[in-house]
């Protein structure tokens, strides 16, 4: 029997075509009557394709009695009710392995741009200010301490790149990893000892506002915050205040609250570098992420180990 798959967030066009050629696909994302679709086809569904934004609620899971797998097309899982999946022992996969290198590249780009004040350097040339005097001396990067909040697949890729810049690395996770970096159990202490703090933990209720005013104050007036995870992890009003008052030196952010319309108080600050959530935004990476979803589906339906179970 051809397996039935419910799609809340489609894959890249080529991979979506592959999915539809191999499976009985029901597009909840395109349905004008999603409740009727679930009433009619819910009992047939064996797998769901979604992502952290479209998510999958406990109510939806409850209407899929034969659900056996949820495959997320994004590393973020905040919209997926993991407790409801765990209660029924339904595995969840995500493509972190497929996007880790690209997100790590963006993290290092933001780190360098923030630490070296790239927007201000660019403006110094473009505005003609260079003709009136040299730009103020900057700060060396080598020998500084990089704190990493979260040392999973992506965090490890960030650390590997940071080593080549001569940065000392420390990290915070729930449990220590077998890595050559120092584990710091306290996020506050990690921020206190770091020159730069990179945020790369999943979004969701457990991590909401984890980087709060106290953590930002610990990072300090010379410190730089880099966030390539989710905007919800940082208390944004506290961040804006810390940046505006000089209690935090700078921020380099790929993610924010209220995307794609970030707070004008944030975008108006001179000590912030901003990019529009482009951590995985390359053709190659997005295709690899979709290919990862397909690989997990194929493994599941073949009775083989999943490629990237969370």
**Residue 20 half-sphere exposure toward CB, CA atoms < 13 A:** 11
- For residues 190 and 197, the answer to whether their CB atoms sit within 8 Å is yes
Q: Report yes or no on whether pTM surpasses 0.95.
A: no
**Residue 168 half-sphere exposure toward CB, CA atoms < 13 A:** 9
Q: Which of 74, 68, 98, 95 is nearest to 8 (CA)?
A: 74
pLDDT at residue 30 in the model: 96
Q: What is the dihedral of CA 162, 165, 168, 173, to 10 degrees?
A: 0
- For residues 252 and 280, the answer to whether their CB atoms sit within 8 Å is no
Distance CA 171, CA 286 (A): 28
4-94+284-301 and 98-274 agree in CATH topology: yes
Q: Which of 55, 36, 5, 1 is nearest to 296 (CA)?
A: 5
Distance CA 13, CA 196 (A): 38
Q: How many residues would you count in the chain? A: 310
CATH homologous superfamily of 4-94+284-301: NAD(P)-binding Rossmann-like Domain (3.40.50.720)
DSSP-derived secondary structure for 109-160: HHHHHHHTTHHHHHHHHHTSGGGG-PPPP----TT-EEEEE--SHHHHHHHH
* The CATH fold of domain 98-274: Rossmann fold (3.40.50)
Give me the residue spans of the domains in the chain. Answer: 4-94+284-301, 98-274
pLDDT at residue 204 in the model: 85
- For residues 149 and 197, the answer to whether their CB atoms sit within 8 Å is yes
Segment-wise mean pLDDT, segments of 10 residues, the chain, 310 residues: 94 96 97 96 98 95 98 92 96 95 98 97 97 96 97 96 97 95 97 98 92 98 97 97 98 97 97 97 95 97 95
pLDDT at residue 123 in the model: 96
pLDDT at residue 139 in the model: 95
Which residues carry out catalysis? Answer: 230, 259, 277
């Amino acid at each position: 029997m051809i397996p039935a798959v419910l799609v809340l967030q489609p894959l890249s066009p080529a991979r979506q075509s592959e999915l539809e050629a191999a499976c009985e696909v029901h597009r909840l994302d395109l349905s004008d009557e999603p409740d009727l679709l679930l009433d009619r086809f819910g009992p047939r569904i064996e797998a769901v394709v979604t992502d952290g934004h479209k998510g999958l609620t406990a109510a939806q899971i409850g209407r899929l009695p034969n659900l056996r797998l949820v495959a997320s097309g994004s590393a973020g899982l905040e919209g997926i009710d993991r407790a409801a999946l765990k209660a029924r022992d339904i595995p969840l996969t995500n493509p972190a392995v497929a996007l880790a290198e690209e997100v790590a590249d963006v993290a290092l780009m933001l780190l360098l741009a923030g630490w070296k004040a790239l927007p201000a350097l660019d403006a110094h040339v473009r505005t003609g200010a260079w003709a009136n005097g040299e730009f103020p001396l900057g700060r060396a990067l080598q020998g500084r301490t990089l704190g990493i909040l979260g040392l999973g697949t992506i965090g490890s890729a960030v650390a590997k790149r940071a080593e080549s810049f001569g940065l000392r690395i420390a990290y915070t996770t729930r449990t220590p990893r077998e890595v050559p970096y120092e584990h710091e159990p306290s996020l506050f202490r990690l921020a206190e000892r770091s020159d730069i703090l990179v945020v790369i933990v999943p979004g969701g209720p457990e991590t909401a506002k984890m980087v709060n005013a106290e953590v930002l104050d610990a990072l300090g007036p010379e410190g730089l915050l880099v966030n390539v995870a989710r905007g919800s992890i940082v208390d944004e009003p506290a961040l804006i205040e810390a940046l505006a008052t000089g209690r935090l030196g700078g921020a380099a952010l790929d993610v924010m609250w209220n995307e794609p319309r970030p707070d004008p108080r944030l975008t108006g600050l001179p000590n912030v570098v901003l990019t529009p959530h482009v951590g995985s935004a390359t053709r190659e990476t997005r295709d690899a992420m979709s290919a990862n979803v397909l690989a997990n589906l194929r493994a599941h339906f073949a009775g083989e180990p999943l490629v990237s179970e969370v």
